[in-house]
């Protein structure tokens, strides 16, 4: 579905009409996909879309989620910058959750001391003191 701007230039249309035409063509194709039992899935940041388009995409995915003959992947609202930011945010969030879990398993709730062993054999038995206030700021869980 790429090329909406080129289509507008070559057809002497007003700006924005190419995207509208592309959207209508996509909706027609999605109707056929539904009738043929194709599962439709959109890849990209749907939050970057205008609400009517985003809602239509979500409706198509929900309506076809149980279809299993063929899967049609549609990439849209994708920028490499957005993808990198999203990936880094997810990786940081996963690490934060993992760290919070590990700390919760090893914190003496009365003293606030994290007790654990380092991987290095020389450092077994070393205790790491982490105040609750520092922990809140380090792991981004709020004040």
Query: Which pair of tokens denotes residue 108?
Result: 């003496």
% of residues, the chain, pLDDT over 70: 69
Indicate the helix (H) or strand (E) that contains 76. none
Instruction: Tell me the CA distances in angstroms from 88 to 37, 94, 96, 125, one per residue in order.
Output: 36, 10, 12, 34
**Beta bridge pairs of residue 46:** none
108 is catalytic: no
The DSSP 8-state label assigned to residue 69 in this structure reads S
- Of 60 and 20, more confident: 60
Q: Residues 2, 82, 121, 123: which is the catalytic one?
A: 2
| pTM across the whole model | 0.47
CA 13, chain centre distance (Å) = 35
């Amino acid at each position: 579905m790429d090329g909406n701007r080129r289509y507008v230039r070559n057809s002497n249309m007003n700006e924005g009409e190419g995207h509208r035409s592309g959207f209508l063509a996509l909706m027609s194709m999605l109707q056929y996909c539904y009738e043929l039992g194709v599962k439709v899935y959109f890849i990209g940041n749907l939050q970057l879309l205008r609400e009517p388009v985003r809602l239509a995409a979500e409706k198509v995915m929900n309506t076809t989620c149980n279809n299993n003959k063929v899967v049609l992947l549609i990439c849209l609202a994708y920028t490499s910058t957005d993808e990198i930011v999203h990936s880094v945010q997810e990786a940081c969030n996963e690490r934060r959750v993992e760290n919070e879990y590990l700390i919760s398993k090893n914190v003496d709730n009365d003293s606030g001391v994290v007790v654990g062993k380092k991987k290095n054999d020389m450092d077994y038995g070393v205790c790491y003191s982490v105040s609750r206030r520092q922990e809140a700021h380090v792991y981004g869980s709020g004040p």
